[in-house]
Amino acid sequence: MSNELETQIEDDLLKDKVLNFFKKNKILVITLVLILIVLPISIQVIFFYNDKKQERFISKYIEAEILLDNNDNKGIDILNTIKEKGNATIKLLAISKLAEHYINNNQKKKALEILNNTNVFNDNMFIEISEIKKVILNFDRINENEILNLTKNKKNKDNFKLLKAKLLYDYYIKSNQLEKAKQVQKNFK
């Protein structure tokens, strides 16, 4: 009998301790439970919202491509909007498409302006591609130092060695510096 009584007293004491703990820490316990429930749901909602936003930008980009293919200038407006508000990947696509559109329409100055105004990216490959595009767009007016600066091995600038060498080679051929052209050709065979 005493064993049962002791067990019952211990159970009652444990219940009292738990109740007292909850009474003293009611706000903390409720907050913790809410955080454990609300936080994962909130994170999922945020991810869902961001995914939908990116889907809208991709849809707008595709719409802009179709409009540009049909010679509708509304596509340029859409690409400019995406260039300002999209994530990094879609911005790069919009900038490249705008530059391509201007190049195809013989508007080299506008293409250069687009490429010059997009140095906000920290993506080394994009910066390198932009430099190459600028050299190609200015190829008729470029001097040797500008081409050499492009082809110098800078830190993290080794992605397009062959393309840069071919640009330098073409420059030397264009300017009738055949010995230098042969030297460049030897280095990259």
122-136 pLDDT per residue, tens: 667 777 777 778 788
Are 150 and 161 found together in one domain? Answer: yes
pTM: 0.62
Residue 176 phi/psi, 5° resolution? Answer: 55, 35
Domain closes at, from 121, 141, 176 = 121
Are 88 and 27 found together in one domain? Answer: yes
- Of residues 43 and 18, more confidence is placed in 43
- Of residues 20 and 4, more confidence is placed in 20
Q: Is 72 left (phi over 0), alpha (psi -120 to 50) or beta?
A: beta
The set of residues, in sequence order, having a beta carbon less than 8 Å from that of 109 and lying 6+ positions away, is none
Are 66 and 149 found together in one domain? Answer: no
Are 143 and 55 found together in one domain? Answer: no
Percent over 90 (pLDDT), the chain: 16
Give residue 174's domain range.
124-189
